[in-house]
Amino acid sequence: MKDFRGKLAVITGGGAGMGRQLAVQLAAAGCHVAICDVFADDMAETVALCDRGVTVSAHECDVSDEEQVLAFRDAVVERHATEHINLLFNNAGIGGGGEFVDGDREAWERTFGVCWHGVYYCARAFMPLLVASDEGYIVNTSSVNGFWASVGPANPHTAYSAAKFAVKGFSEALIADLRMHAPHVKVAVVMPGHIGTSIAINSGRIHGQPAPEDLPADQVAKIREQMVASGLPVGNESDDQIRAAVAQRAIDFRDAAPTTAAQAATIILDGVRAGKWRILVGDDAHVIDRLVREDPEPVYEPEFMGELAKERLFQFAQR
């Protein structure tokens, strides 16, 4: 798909981060856009940033709820007066539910629901509209955690990683499925490394967690434990200092990332233009992909973080 002009793109998680930047760049390229998100105020900001020479619509939708996804699809069809779409970006995602053995089941299933079922439900809902087009592309956002299920040996990362592995496998399996049944529709799986988005901030909002400054003492104690286990010298820090550190980490994850959301969106759209099915985003993603492929056995050992540090992936190694 070399040219987006006059096409119609559907983007989940369009209220911020990569979803917002995909919307902005596609609209600037003359593409009509329909975004969804659970935060209406964030979507309003995205719409305001988009080129008004095209139709841009915003729809509240929790992609982990199939009924809401179907309503979103119907609203897109009505708002854009269309019987087809050309692009589907399954981009919505949240973090959380890291621990399976001794963690909160509700948080685990909420995270898995958004990150995997959101992709599945949207693919089910919008696939007939993609097939009805002359030219279509489904772009599913996985992660480096779709081939490396870790953010460090002291931080379990089970729900997000399980979902992102599922997204990767589903996307790769669609290559043959689409080739057989809808050869004019392509698929790509996107695997970003550390991208400057608000996922760390918004995940807490979606899980209904208190703001960092309001974290109760028992949660602060657990976070302190995790930080110490990761090698951070915070054992003697006060509760308020830990709360401040949590808030700052979320801000730094967004503002000090090695790849911005705008850069990530450009890489993704360039990959679509080039007809790729596998799109790695960020130098860290390329390095981790190479290391995992070269020798997968030791990648879950503490020493592997040292290998990342040698590759100058300091920020990723500190996640």
The pLDDT, as a whole number, for residue 318 is 38
Average pLDDT (266-277) is: 98
Is pLDDT above 50 for 170?
yes
Residue with the larger pLDDT of the pair 52 and 61: 61
Residue 238 in any domain: the answer is no
Residue 207 in any domain: the answer is no
Is pLDDT above 90 for 269?
yes
Residue 220 in any domain: the answer is no
Residue 239 in any domain: the answer is no
Least confident of 51-55, 133-137, 236-240: 236-240
Residue 145 in any domain: the answer is yes
Residue with the larger pLDDT of the pair 225 and 142: 142
Is pLDDT above 90 for 74?
yes
The pLDDT, as a whole number, for residue 316 is 47
Average pLDDT (187-197) is: 97
The pLDDT, as a whole number, for residue 49 is 97
Residue 294 in any domain: the answer is yes
DSSP 110: H
CA distances from 126 to 80, 90, 268 (A): 14, 11, 20
The pLDDT, as a whole number, for residue 312 is 63
Active site (annotated) includes residue 160: yes
Is pLDDT above 60 for 113?
yes
Region of residue 281 (phi > 0: left; psi between -120 and 50: alpha; otherwise: beta):
beta
Provide the domain count of the chain.
1
CA distances from 67 to 122, 211, 260, 305 (A): 11, 30, 33, 42
The pLDDT, as a whole number, for residue 156 is 94
Residue with the larger pLDDT of the pair 186 and 315: 186
> For residue 180, what are the domain limits?
8-197+258-307
Query: Using alpha carbons only, what angle is made at residue 23 by residues 19 and 27, rounded to the nearest 5 degrees?
Result: 170
pTM reported for the whole predicted model: 0.92
Average pLDDT (282-295) is: 96
Least confident of 7-11, 12-16, 215-219, 288-292: 215-219
Residue 248 in any domain: the answer is no
The pLDDT, as a whole number, for residue 9 is 98
CATH, residue 275: 3.40.50.720
The pLDDT, as a whole number, for residue 253 is 83
Is pLDDT above 70 for 86?
yes
The pLDDT, as a whole number, for residue 313 is 61
Kindly name the residue from 120, 121, 137, 160 that is annotated as catalytic: 160
Percent of the chain scoring above 70 in pLDDT: 97
Mean pLDDT of the residues in the chain: 93
Region of residue 152 (phi > 0: left; psi between -120 and 50: alpha; otherwise: beta):
left
The pLDDT, as a whole number, for residue 236 is 78
The pLDDT, as a whole number, for residue 205 is 85
Is pLDDT above 60 for 314?
no
Is pLDDT above 80 for 315?
no
Is pLDDT above 50 for 191?
yes
Is pLDDT above 60 for 219?
yes
The pLDDT, as a whole number, for residue 242 is 82
Starting at the edge strand found earlier in the chain, the sheet holding 278-281 runs: 56-60, 32-37, 8-12, 87-90, 136-141, 185-192, 278-281
Is pLDDT above 80 for 229?
no
Residue 184 in any domain: the answer is yes
Please choose, from the candidates 270, 21, 275, the residue with its C-alpha nearest in 3D space to the C-alpha of residue 137. 275
